[in-house]
Structure 1
Amino acid sequence: MGLEYFSFADLWSPVMMVVSLLIILLYSLVTGPWRERFSASEPVSKKRQAAFIAGIVLLYLAQGGPLSLMGHLMFTFHMTAMAISYFIVPGMLIYGVPAWLWRSIFSRPFWRPFRFLMNPLLGLFAFNLLFSVYHMPANHDWIMTHYVIHGFYYFVMLGAAMISWWHIMCPVAEWSRLTNLRKLGFIFLNGLLLTPACVLIIFATTPLFSVYNDPEVWTRAMGYCISGNSAEFLSQFKGGPAFFSLMAPTDDQQLGGIIMKLLQEFVNIAAMYAVFMQWYRRERAQDDDPSFDHASSSRLNNV
């Protein structure tokens, strides 16, 4: 793809690398030596720690590592980075943070005015709306060529994705707002709502996004990814993004849409399986407990 033309800083974003390492260090301290400072804290399993650290590393690779730069060269890599950032990473981060730490952070009075953000309907629609609006061609090109807006929009989408996945795998039992049956419906609708945007991209017969087809727009977008005199540096690549692309623009666009949808469906199927098995194991445990009040449980689950 011609990545040899770019510097280490262009490919690996040292600032985001340092931020990611600091987050991992802080997490390791809070769940390790500093754990006793938190009330009702418990040891965090190696599995949870590995999930959180892997989630941060994946987010860095998608938004700060080579995949981020490649996402400005080909639409396929752009969609791959988005799928990793918003379908895979949120669940890993939520799972990696122990329940006692979630309680310690979000039980504070400061968060009370923001509780409306945790409404399941908002969690269902917010990310899908943000994603769909972003991938309207004119919006996409404008956001990609305005660095501050681009960074802010990606941060908001990550927050919306975290809220959406929170309702599916809520790690704090008393904060869960959905029964297992409703979680299955939530996952199904989540996949359904993203389908129109993916279909638009997959079945388009002409290139939709100027960032990947117009050398002038591409140069403006790339200017935020590389150091030094970006216009002079990029002028050596005749044809702009076509110089780096491995396929025709329409094929690249269609493949990107397919990868996005397939990865979402794969993650959704895995989530539905996990929710169903959790439901099944709980029902089996209750059936084996003669003191369990099934009538009361049924009424509570229908609230």
Structure 2
Amino acid sequence: MLGLEYFSFRDLWSPLFMAAILLITAGYLLLMGPLSERFKNGSPVSTGKKIAFVSGMLVIYLAQGGPISLMGHIMFSFHMLSMALTYLIAPPLLMLGIPDWAWRGILKYNPLRKLSFLAHPIVAAVLFNGLFSFYHIPAIHDYVMLHFGIHRLYYVVLFASAILMWWTLVNPLPEYSETKGLKKMAYIAINMVLLTPACGLIIFSSTSLYATYNDPTVWAKAMGYCVSGDTTMLLRTFGGPGYFAYMDPHVDQQVGGIVMKFIQEIIFASMLAVVFRNWYKQENKDDEVYGNELKKA
């Protein structure tokens, strides 16, 4: 399927990355379970939080270590699916899996405290969406895809900015929850708008923008990130990414932009509905309390 049978187990499943994910997950389950009472105010976390964290780690693995990651170097639509999974789905799952007492400990001993201004809602929204949009400028994207050290660094920075962006929405600490109600809804809307120009450029471009997906030579070099051995063999054997792709590069690019925007719209629209419902209930509750006080008076 999709030509994946031509790649080795190592290429498809990234065993070292899998081992790292399993190690981190095991450490989390140990620290949040049997060892949790050793921490100040610590207590075992609920099954729901464990499921959220483990799901987040699984999503990261599938997006960055599994076949989706490999296909993301062959087809732009899979690249955007990987981006959506990594930065829009995994961060909130991981953050929801961390209990409030652990968050307080992390923030108390945070060595990057001087950079806390980056978590301000407007700054975080502009930072994440700006980094994401900048990365998808064709020249920048192709450069990053061909320079593996920069590729890893950029993805780490982008993931950190995604955590900061999500902090306003899934932050469990009341002392850090300054954005509520209408402000939180406005924040969600801002994020939905800020990603639109990049997706729009990708979707409505009249040509295929990225050499990684339409130039066989560039593609073969980029494949060195996820395929072991001499990648020029891929060029000699298959001729280019077109051998595996089932869509024209231009159509594939448009599908990728649609996939990213569609997933973002679904996630943020769902968040908007939840925030609106909570805000509506709180407003009605406040009105009811105020009305009862007037009756007593």
Across the aligned residues of Structure 1 and Structure 2, the Cα RMSD in angstroms comes to 1.9
Q: Report the CA distance between 1:90 and its aligned residue.
A: 1.1
Distance 1:111 1:140, change over 3 A: closer
Contact (CA 8 Å) 1:133, 1:139: kept in 2 or not? yes
Residue equivalent to 2:274: 274
Q: For residue 299 of structure 1, what is the aligned residue in structure 2?
A: none
Of residues 90-99 and 33-42 in structure 1, the stretch that sits farther from structure 2 once superposed is 33-42
Residue by residue over 1:248-285, the C-alpha shift from the partner in whole angstroms, topping out at 9 and shown as x without a partner, is 11110101100110100000101111212222343455
Equivalent position of 2:256 in the other structure: 256
Question: 1:73 — aligned with what?
Answer: 74
1:83 lines up with 2:69 in the alignment = no
TM-score, normalised to structure 1's length?
0.92
CA shift in 2, pair 1:211/1:174, >3 Å: same
- Taking structure 1 as reference, are residues 111 and 204 closer, same or farther at Cα in structure 2, changes over 3 Å only? closer
| Structure 2 counterpart of 1:277, one-letter code | R
Structure-2 residue corresponding to 1:47: 48
Matched residue pairs, number?
293
Amino acid at match of 1:174: E
Q: Which amino acid aligns with 1:21?
A: L
The match for 2:94 is: 93
Cα contact 1:286–1:292 (8 A) shared by 2 = no
8 Å CA contact 1:207–1:250 kept in 2: the answer is yes
Change (3 A) 1:273 1:216: same
Structure 1 residues 137 and 34 mapped into 2: Cα distance closer, same or farther (>3 Å)?
same
3-state SS, counterpart of residue 237 of structure 2? coil
Distance of aligned partners of 1:292 and 1:212 in 2 relative to their CA distance in 1, 3 Å threshold: farther
Structure 2: how far apart are the matches of 1:281 and 1:30? 36
Structure 2 gap segments, 5+ residues each: none
Contact 1:51 1:92 in 2 (8 A): yes
CA contact (8 A) 1:52 1:93 kept: yes
CA 1:104–1:289: 2 relative to 1, 3 Å: farther
| Equivalence for 1:3 | 4
CA pair 256-123 structure 1, distance change in 2 beyond 3 A: same
1:60 maps to 2:68: no
SS in 2 for 1:44: coil
Runs of 5+ in structure 1 lacking a partner?
295-303
Using the alignment, how far apart are the partners of 1:56 and 1:14 within structure 2? 15
**TM-superposition CA deviations, 1:180-211 (whole Å, max 9, x none):** 21110011010101100101010111110000
Residue 121 of structure 1: CA displacement? 1.8
Displacement of 1:108 in angstroms is 2.0
Instruction: Tell me what 1:215 maps to.
Output: 216
- Determine the structure 2 residue equivalent to 1:146: 147
Q: Given the two structures, how large is their TM-score scaled by the length of structure 2? A: 0.94
**1:227-266 paired onto structure 2 within 5 Å:** 227-238=228-239, 240-266=240-266
Mean CA deviation greater in 55-64 or 283-292 = 283-292
Query: Corresponding residue for 2:199?
Result: 198
Q: Indicate the residue corresponding to 1:131 in structure 2.
A: 132
Output the amino acid matched with 1:265: E
Quote the Cα distance in structure 2 between the aligned partners of 1:17 and 1:237: 28
Please state whether the residue corresponding to 1:189 is helix, strand or coil: helix
CA distance in 2, matches of 1:63, 1:180: 35
Say whether 1:173 aligns with 2:174.
yes
